[in-house]
């Protein structure tokens, strides 16, 4: 819909330019506040980063945005419509797609089939009809595109279990892309990748806004997030403690304390590092 959206840094934000708007989102598990009163919005065509130490609530945020977890209070508006009590697969069909930290591929399907199952139209009756249709299927253009973005063409016929960890991570991203998301939520795509793979991933993610895909990148690889994103938010203990350009984040005292400082305190006792 907005394939021509510029990939540039944040523009002035108008209502129609906001893909996702989050107001006062709170998630509680029992008495534990996993996410406390979070508000932010994601401009269309941006690559937004979210960082935070382990246990900061990053995955909980993705779960809550995609309705994998029920939010205790607050509102989420995606493409101008509330996501309240919309089932997860419906949100996915509307273009809000997530990946999983633990990849979660369909191991019974080849790489291409993993992507194809995301790209195909959702109607089961149409799919049943296609069983009777005589001709063979051709590769869907969205699958072709997702394979080319992730450079997985060479392994399209392999099964996920035959691939390296880094490749499997990419298949997870490719599967999400094959659905042609308007907003892609990436849950730690770089975890477990080596430096070169992380760098290549960052470059690929940078190109997505050119194809109409807005990205929310969640990771704790500071290098990846600060090097890739237009705008970065910092989460700690369920609260948003900072937000700004990568340069501002690098300079922010609270971030240094929460992210670097705290690790100095706790790990400092252990002696090294």
Partner 1 sequence: MSSYILFLLLGLGSGAVYAVLGLGLVLKYRSAGVVDFGHGAVAMFCAYVYIELRSSGELQFPWIIIPHQVRIASAGGLGTVPCILITLVYSAVLGLLFYMAVYRPLRTAPALARVGASIGVLLALQTIALLNYSTFAVSSPPILPDTTFHFAGLFVPSAQLYLAGLTVVLGLVLAAVYRFTRFGVVTRAAVENERGAALLGHSASRIAAYNWVLATVLAAAAGILILPITTLNPGTYTLFIVPALGAALLGRFSSFGAVVFGGLAIGAIQSETVKLQTVWTWLPQTGLQDGLPFIIIMLTIIVLARRLSARGAITDVHNPMVGRPSRPAASAGGAVVVGIIALLVLSAQYRAAVDSSLITACICFSVVIITGYTGQISLAQNGMAGVSAFMLTHIAAGLGIGFPFGLILAALCAVVLGVAVGLPAVRVRGVNLAVATLAVATALDALLFNNTSFSGGYTGRNVKAPHLLGLNLGPVGTGQDTQRLAFGIMVVLIVAAIGLFVARLRLGRLGRTFLAVRSNERAAASVGIDVARTKLFAFGIAAFIAGIGGGLLAYQQQNVNAATFTTWTSLTILAITYVGGVGRITGALAAGALLASNGLVPTLLNNLFNFGQYQNLIAGVLLTITAVANPDGMTKEMGAGFTKLRRAAMRRAGIGGGGDGGASPAAPSAPEPSAPSPAAAGRPKVAGR
Per-residue DSSP letters for the chain? --TT---SS-----GGGEEEEEEEEEEEETTEEEEEEEEEEEETT-EEEEE--TTSSHHHHHHHHTTSS--SEEEEEETTEE-TT--HHHHHHTTEEE--TT----TTS-HHHHHHHHHS-S-HHHHHHHHH--SPPPPPHHHHHHHHHHT-GGGTTS-GGGS-HHHHHHHHHHHHHHT--SEEEEESTTTT--HHHHHHHHHHHHHGGGGT-EEEEE-S-HHHHHHH-SEEEEEETTEEEEEE-HHHHHH-HHHIIIIIIHHHHHHHHHS--
The least distance separating partner 1 from the CB of residue 114, rounded to whole angstroms, comes to: 8
The least distance separating partner 1 from the CB of residue 110, rounded to whole angstroms, comes to: 9
**Comparison of 192 and 246: residue with beta carbon closer to partner 1:** 192
The least distance separating partner 1 from the CB of residue 139, rounded to whole angstroms, comes to: 13
Total residues in contact with partner 1, by rule CB under 8 A: 46
The least distance separating partner 1 from the CB of residue 191, rounded to whole angstroms, comes to: 12
Using the rule CB under 8 A, give the single segment among 6-14, 122-130, 246-254, 263-271 that binds partner 1. Answer: 122-130
Using the rule CB under 8 A, give the single segment among 42-50, 120-128, 141-149, 198-206 that binds partner 1. Answer: 120-128
Q: Give yes or no for a contact between 260 and 77, defined as CB atoms under 8 angstroms apart.
A: no
Q: Is 32 in the site for partner 1 (CB under 8 A)?
A: no
The least distance separating partner 1 from the CB of residue 238, rounded to whole angstroms, comes to: 19
**Token digits of residue 39:** 């508000």
What part of residues 54-73 is at the interface with partner 1 (CB under 8 A)? 66, 68
**Comparison of 98 and 204: residue with beta carbon closer to partner 1:** 98
Q: Rounded to an integer, what distance in angstroms lies between the CA atom of residue 204 and that of residue 83?
A: 29
Q: Is 1 in the site for partner 1 (CB under 8 A)?
A: no
What part of residues 125-184 is at the interface with partner 1 (CB under 8 A)? 126-128, 130-132, 137, 159-162, 164-165, 168, 175-176, 178-179
- Backbone angles phi and psi of 93, in degrees to 5: -65, -25
Site string for partner 1, 181-200 (x = CB under 8 A): -----------x--------
Q: Is 231 in the site for partner 1 (CB under 8 A)?
A: no
Give residues in contact with partner 1 (CB under 8 A): 66, 68, 87-89, 92-93, 97-109, 113, 116-118, 120, 122, 124, 126-128, 130-132, 137, 159-162, 164-165, 168, 175-176, 178-179, 192
């Amino acid at each position: 819909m907005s394939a021509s959206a510029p990939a540039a840094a944040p523009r002035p934000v108008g209502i129609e330019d906001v893909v996702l708007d989050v107001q006062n989102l709170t998630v509680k598990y029992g008495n534990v506040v996993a996410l406390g009163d979070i508000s932010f919005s994601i401009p269309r065509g941006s690559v937004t980063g979210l960082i935070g130490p382990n246990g900061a609530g990053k995955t909980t945020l993705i779960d809550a945005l995609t309705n994998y977890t029920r939010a205790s209070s607050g509102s989420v508006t995606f493409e101008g419509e509330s996501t309240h009590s919309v089932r997860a697969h419906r949100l996915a069909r509307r273009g809000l797609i997530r990946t999983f930290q633990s990849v979660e591929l369909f191991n019974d399907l080849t790489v291409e089939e993993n992507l194809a199952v995301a790209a195909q139209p959702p109607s089961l009756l149409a799919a049943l009809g296609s069983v009777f249709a005589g001709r063979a299927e051709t590769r869907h253009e969205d699958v072709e595109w997702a394979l080319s973005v992730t450079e997985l063409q060479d392994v399209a016929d392999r099964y996920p279990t035959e691939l390296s960890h880094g490749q499997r991570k990419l298949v997870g991203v490719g599967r999400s892309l094959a659905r042609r998301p308007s907003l892609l939520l990436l849950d730690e795509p770089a975890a477990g990748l080596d430096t070169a793979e992380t760098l290549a991933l960052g470059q690929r993610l940078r190109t997505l806004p050119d194809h109409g895909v807005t990205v929310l990148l969640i990771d704790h690889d500071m290098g990846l997030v600060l090097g890739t994103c237009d705008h970065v938010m910092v989460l700690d203990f369920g609260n948003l403690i900072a937000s700004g350009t990568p340069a501002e984040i690098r300079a922010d005292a609270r971030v240094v304390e929460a992210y670097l400082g705290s690790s100095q305190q706790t790990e400092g006792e252990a002696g090294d590092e």
